[in-house]
Amino acid sequence: MPSVKVMKRDLSAFLDLTRTLAALTVFLAHLSKPQFGGAPLSVFGELSHSAVIVFFVLSGFVISWAAERDGGAREYVLNRASRIYSVALPALALTWVTDNFLILHYPGTINPLYQYEAVWKYLPLFLTFSSDFWFLSEDAFSNIPYWSLCYEVWYYVVFGALIFGRGFWRWGIAIACLLVMGPRLWLLWPIWLAGAYLHRLPPLPRGASRRLLLFSLTGLVALKASGVEDFLNGVVDQVTGELRKGDGDKLKLICQPQP
């Protein structure tokens, strides 16, 4: 039997530590909101966007490693699907139960209620991770963080097509998926690809790795202090906001039950 490729323990530990720190940053950022009385934690609110970007880079890195380990399209698809739906289905079920409990016992706390009035329209979007395609912008009931899964799953699909596809099919499937996804999902695709690219690079010596880590942290501080990040985020928000106007509003009105 061929041996199963296993990630080195030190690399796995480093990735787990990075993931944990990013998750903790996002968690504390939510606690810093005024309704939770977390003003002393406001610094984490400033770092939350960067922590989310870290998740996307990590995702690209790990999926590139997994594709190399899987070695074939069939194994890649089965492994990705089993891991995705083992998380997505329980998350949607738990959200459903929690939302309906709150709707029943604490009316007015859950928004949007309109999805529960026409679940058959919205559940397919969540199960196919297509709730942010083009002019769509739908949260998975009250589960707002589900959006990141909707981005990543389609990055897995495009990446799998590029890695395991052959000839015309490689580019045909990848381009078709990108066209279906729409421009909002394109915005984080280069970030995700950066993680995949990092995995493909040869390992750096320990000294060079430490210098690169220090340079990266220094660059992050400079990016925050200079206001460049805020400017770029404002441009992106303006672009994506325009994408949600016009036809996007009409589409949502079509989907949303009228009183």
Residue 178 and residue 152: Cα distance in Å, rounded?
A: 13
pTM of the model: 0.80
Per-residue pLDDT of the chain (259 residues; tens, 9 = 90+): 445 567 778 788 888 888 898 888 888 887 777 666 666 667 777 778 888 888 899 999 999 999 989 888 899 999 999 999 999 999 999 999 988 888 888 877 776 678 888 888 889 999 999 999 988 888 888 888 888 899 999 999 999 999 998 888 889 999 999 999 988 889 889 999 999 998 888 887 888 888 888 888 888 788 777 877 777 777 666 665 555 443 333 233 223 333 3
Here the tokens at position 236 are 């992106």
Q: Please state the domain extents for the chain.
A: 9-255
Q: Is 176 helix (H, G, I), strand (E, B) or coil?
A: helix
Q: Which residues contact 79 (CB under 8 A, 6 or more apart)?
A: 66, 70
Sequence-distant (≥ 6) Cβ neighbours of residue 212 within 8 angstroms: 204
Phi, psi of 203 (to 5 degrees): -60, 145
Read out DSSP for 187-218? TTHHHHHHHHHHHHSPPPPHHHHHHHHHHHHH
